[in-house]
């Protein structure tokens, strides 16, 4: 089993390009799991779902925080997917196991509906924009880019056309300390960015543009403050009641991925977090969602 874990860690390092801290977290989680199996004389290659659930219960009784239990489960799920894909195991007992439902103070994420409303406001503005420069196209592309990649405001400001890989639908971003990462970006964002590059950016470009992706009205790189102002313009136009910053879209990106079932470590890589504990702040459920679920499904709470 130790050899299988070593091969898996090598796979994550070589094939997935995970950072050293992420690899260490995976290994620590799996070592803890292996020790549990050895103590209870269980074989990982024919372990049952109930026995795997027993490990999660063991972690809970040992006092481990729900977020850490969720991270351990994420590590185990990834390992079993690897074992099945490589032919070392026939089944994946972790596939249908769900982790603890977590609630933490929200880091300010918008609901999916609010994000869509914000972006739709910018997209609609393009239809009524009669100016030659069509700045609304830039604004729409910018909002789609921020939400589509989870980029920091500085990463969006520093992005260049050369960082776009259209054929592979990938974007290169440079995070803190100029650490490079490659993130995918969805079709909606690509459509908006492509429209901006074809129609708007050529009219903005000038001697100071260099290769920067997002330009201001004078043809220079769009600054972080400029991005804030653009976002605030559409927040007000959308009549959103919440306080929204560029980082809010990054929070929303992570929260919506995890709510949809994305792997915690995958989201860590997409955000460019060096430490998995930074990503764990997103493992929460929105209070309104909890209330709506209770009201809809509890037999004594039919409204």
Q: Which pLDDT does position 299 carry in this prediction?
A: 56
Q: Which pLDDT does position 127 carry in this prediction?
A: 85
pLDDT tens digits along 157-190 = 999 999 999 988 899 999 877 888 889 898 999 9
Q: Which pLDDT does position 286 carry in this prediction?
A: 45
Q: Which pLDDT does position 189 carry in this prediction?
A: 93
Q: Which pLDDT does position 293 carry in this prediction?
A: 52
- Residue 93's nearest CA partner among 146, 44, 149 is 44
Q: Which pLDDT does position 203 carry in this prediction?
A: 94
- Each as own residue / partner, the long-range contacts of residues 213-217 (CB below 8 Å, 24 or more positions apart, any chain) are 213/145, 213/156, 213/159, 213/160, 213/161, 213/163, 213/164, 214/138, 214/141, 214/142, 214/145, 214/156, 214/157, 214/159, 215/138, 217/133, 217/135
**2-85: what fold?**
DNA polymerase; domain 1 (1.10.150)
Partners of residue 181 on adjacent β-strands: 173
Is position 60 annotated as part of the catalytic site? no
Q: Which pLDDT does position 8 carry in this prediction?
A: 86
Is position 221 annotated as part of the catalytic site? no
Is position 82 annotated as part of the catalytic site? no
Give the separation between CA 215 and CA 269, rounded to whole angstroms.
28
Q: Which pLDDT does position 132 carry in this prediction?
A: 80
Is position 298 annotated as part of the catalytic site? no
Q: Which pLDDT does position 104 carry in this prediction?
A: 47
Q: Which pLDDT does position 298 carry in this prediction?
A: 56
Q: Which pLDDT does position 234 carry in this prediction?
A: 95
**112-250: what fold?**
hpI Integrase; Chain A (1.10.443)
The answer to whether the beta carbons of residues 222 and 216 sit under 8 Å apart is yes
Is position 282 annotated as part of the catalytic site? yes
Catalytic residue among 176, 194, 208, 294: 176
CATH 1.10.150.130 residue spans of the chain:
2-85
3-state secondary structure of 18: coil
Q: Which pLDDT does position 1 carry in this prediction?
A: 66
Strand order in the sheet with 170-174: 164-165, 170-174, 180-184
pTM passes above 0.75: no
pLDDT tens digits along 35-68 = 998 898 888 777 888 888 888 889 888 888 777 8
Q: Which pLDDT does position 134 carry in this prediction?
A: 87
3-state secondary structure of 172: strand
Catalytic residue among 250, 251, 256, 284: 250
C-alpha of 222 from chain center:
24
Is position 250 annotated as part of the catalytic site? yes
Residues of the chain falling short of pLDDT 50: 103-106, 285-290, 302-303
Give the separation between CA 133 and CA 202, rounded to whole angstroms.
9
Catalytic residue among 138, 152, 221, 284: 152
CATH 1.10.443.10 residue spans of the chain:
112-250
Residue 108 gets the label, from left (phi > 0), alpha (psi -120 to 50) or beta, of: left
């Amino acid at each position: 089993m130790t050899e299988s874990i070593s091969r898996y860690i090598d796979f994550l390092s070589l094939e997935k390009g995970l950072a050293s801290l992420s690899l260490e977290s995976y290994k620590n989680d799996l070592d803890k799991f292996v020790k549990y199996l050895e103590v209870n004389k269980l074989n990982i290659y024919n372990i049952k779902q109930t026995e795997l659930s027993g490990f999660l219960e063991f972690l809970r009784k040992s006092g481990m925080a729900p977020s850490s239990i969720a991270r351990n489960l994420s590590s185990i799920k990834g390992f079993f997917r690897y074992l099945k894909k490589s032919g070392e195991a026939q089944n994946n007992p972790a596939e249908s196991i769900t982790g603890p439902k977590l609630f933490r103070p929200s880091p300010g994420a918008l609901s999916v509906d609010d994000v869509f409303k914000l972006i739709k406001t910018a997209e609609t503005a393009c239809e009524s924009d009669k100016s030659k420069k069509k700045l609304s196209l830039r604004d729409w592309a910018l909002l789609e880019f921020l939400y589509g990649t989870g980029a920091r405001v500085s990463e969006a400001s520093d992005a260049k056309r050369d960082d776009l890989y259209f054929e592979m639908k990938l974007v290169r971003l440079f995070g803190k300390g100029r650490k490079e990462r490659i993130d995918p970006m969805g079709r909606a964002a690509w459509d908006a960015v492509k429209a901006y590059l074809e129609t708007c950016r050529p009219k903005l470009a000038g001697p100071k543009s260099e290769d920067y992706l997002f330009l201001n009205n004078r043809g220079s790189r769009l600054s972080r403050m400029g991005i804030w102002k653009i976002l605030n313009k559409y927040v007000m136009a959308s009549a959103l009641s919440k306080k929204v910053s560029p980082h809010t879209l990054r929070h929303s990106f992570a929260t919506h991925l995890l709510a949809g079932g994305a792997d915690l470590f995958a989201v860590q890589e997409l955000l460019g977090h060096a430490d998995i504990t930074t990503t764990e702040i997103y493992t929460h459920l929105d209070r309104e969602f909890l209330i709506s679920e209770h009201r809809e499904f509890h037999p004594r709470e039919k409204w």
